[in-house]
Amino acid sequence: MNKTYKLDELYKVRDNFDNHEFDGFCITIDDFYENAEDIYEHITNRQYPMWKYNTESSTQNGVNYNDCRIVDTIGHPTRLYWNEHNRILDLCRRYFHKGDYEWSQLIEFNCFQTINVFDNKLQHYPHVDSPLDRPDNLSTLNFLVYLDKEEDGGTAVYDGEWITNDEDMSLLYPVEERFNLERVIPAKFNRAVIFPGNRMHGAYIENYHKYLDNWRFTQVTFYHPQGDFNGN
């Protein structure tokens, strides 16, 4: 087995986004990566560092579930890497902020596995990644790629007031007690979605049994609009 690889070639994006859809809130692009099966093998054949846990208290991470994050660092961005991100941002500009964006040069995956099966009334903590009062066209954009084979649930978007996030203690929250479910963006292997981070949202799992022996993988990137936030 070859132990070396080129990140920009492994994560090569499809040639065009002619297949994309926009429903007024979310951009969806299916068959996003050309080498999705190779990426899946790349992320399944490694160890997963734990993420969001509190060593000084009774955290549920590692007890009732495994919540981890893995990162590939783009140390020397190539022309291919920049060109592909610029193509993604050109698509974003059609529907959201028209100016420049900044993002971290990281390829990050949230990795989740069930240890004890939960009722699906318990879901990942609703949270925001941009100020709630910021309009969609100026919001930080959440870019996700679903890369597990279970294709269960997706990303839930909620209506409700922001609450303090205690994910380092417990990742899961009884969402029906405080929030109305507006929509679920459906997960599908190798599907990319882009939506404003100014809405309460969180990972949504319909059947926790599916992740007893398998992992849920979601790539996450944030595109931060630059400017004076007056639409310029």
Q: What is the pLDDT of residue 58?
A: 74
Higher pLDDT, 194 or 4: 194
Chain segment 152-166, per-residue pLDDT in tens: 999 999 998 877 777
- Domains of the chain: residue spans and CATH: 7-225 (2.60.120.620)
- Strand (E) positions, the chain? 21-22, 27-29, 65-73, 101-102, 106-114, 122-124, 141-146, 154-159, 172-174, 180-186, 191-196, 200-204, 216-225
Higher pLDDT, 177 or 227: 177
Chain segment 183-196, per-residue pLDDT in tens: 999 999 999 999 99
Q: What is the pLDDT of residue 229?
A: 58
Q: What is the pLDDT of residue 3?
A: 67
Higher pLDDT, 52 or 90: 90
Q: How far is the C-alpha of 162 from the C-alpha of 64, rounded, in Å?
A: 25
- Mean of the pLDDT values across residues 25-46? 95
Q: What is the pLDDT of residue 105?
A: 82
- Mean of the pLDDT values across residues 64-92? 88
pLDDT at 1 over 60: no
